[in-house]
Structure 1
Amino acid sequence: METSGGIQASLGGRYATALFELARDAHAIEAVEASLATLRETLAGSDDFRALVNSPLISRTDSARAIAAVAETMGLDATTRNFLGVLAENRRLRDLPKIIAAFRTLAARHRGEATAEVVSAHPLNDEQVVELKHRLRQRVGREVSVDLSVDSALLGGLVVRIGSQMIDSSIRTRLNSLAHVMKG
């Protein structure tokens, strides 16, 4: 398996690689990816879930029990549920966002896609996402999987990162550049 690009260099990357290999061997990459997307949305939207994942005060046993109950309620696939138990036992649940991002990159590579992290000032509608994917596909020459997030501090525009390449068309950056030029 090709894991260049530094994914295995981090602890989260090593966990993501292990999960990817388990999912690949079980022919469950899509199911695991869907479960991880659900986890990502829950992390973004639930203060209680973030507290469970990040709290150092919860014992390993209690953390494992709680994460198993939550995973069952969320309807996550068996591979992901077991993996979350391992993370809880190893006190690595706090690394879940990094693991999810690295897994998405590995899954996209497996499908022959590039992965783009896209930050916008406002949520993009479906038409905008389709157009963005089309333009990125033209730029990189292959299918592109997008990881969308919102940062209202950008004021407008987008920041797109594909691998080590970054395209920053945000209004915040343009205003900062203009201010720098005006200073002389």
Structure 2
Amino acid sequence: MSRSIVGERYAIALFKAAQEQGVLISVHENVIELQKALSTNEEFSELMSMPQLSLQKKRSLIAAVLPGAEQLLLNALYVMLDANRMDELNDVLEDFHQLANGASGVAEATVYATRELTSQEQTAISSAFARKVGKQSLHITTIIEPQLIGGIRLQIGNRIFDSSISNKLNNLQRTLIG
């Protein structure tokens, strides 16, 4: 969870409401879309913090950014806007994302590899390592790191599984040198 207590409370409230209304999956999809939009467009946050814009214009902007979004998510954003808490939006979205993933048995994983992984390789990694961390599946993000030489390094939360050739060479060097 985030370091923001306020953000965490909004996320928990949205999560519980989405579960109760049976729209958790669609709200989670909307949250992921909003996170992508915010990461590529910093103007949205700036507009939300501008005192010159009326609340009604800010509401219209939120609705324009999320066309077809679940009304529950829009209402949560409107409540945050009315409470002048839009500066907590990134924390709320990230906390909600973690809660939704936890409820569905999914963990976020980062795979460091020398090349882009195929979908079959991602599926194999997900099924092999999800059990090790007590999850049903992994949502994998791949980062290309040529210095690994070969193999992969996988990070799930604070756990790291390193089967890269560079790691094996370093271990061998430590063993030989003592």
TM-score, structure 2 as length reference: 0.70
2:21 paired residue number? 26
For residues 65-110 of structure 1, give each alpha carbon's deviation from its aligned partner in whole angstroms, at most 9, with x where no partner exists: 31122222xx211111111222233333343333222222222332
Q: 1:1-184 counterparts in 2 under 5 A?
A: 10-44=5-39, 46-47=40-41, 50-54=42-46, 57-59=49-51, 61=55, 62-72=57-67, 75-111=68-104, 113-118=105-110, 120=112, 124-146=117-139, 148-149=140-141, 157-162=152-157, 165-167=158-160, 169=162
* Contact 1:68–1:84 under 8 Å retained in 2: no
Q: Structure 2: which 5+ runs fail to align?
A: none
Aligned residue type for 1:138: R
Q: 1:108 to 1:153 in 2, by over 3 A?
A: same
Higher relative contact order (CA 8 A, sep 6+): 2
For residues 28-49 of structure 1, give each alpha carbon's deviation from its aligned partner in whole angstroms, at most 9, with x where no partner exists: 10110111111122223x32xx
Q: RMSD in angstroms over aligned alpha carbons?
A: 3.6
TM-score, structure 1 as length reference: 0.68
* Contact 1:52–1:63 under 8 Å retained in 2: no
**Of the two, which has the highest radius of gyration?**
2
Q: In structure 2, how many angstroms separate the alpha carbons of the residues matched to 1:80 and 1:124? A: 33
- Of all paired residues, the percent bearing the same amino acid is 19
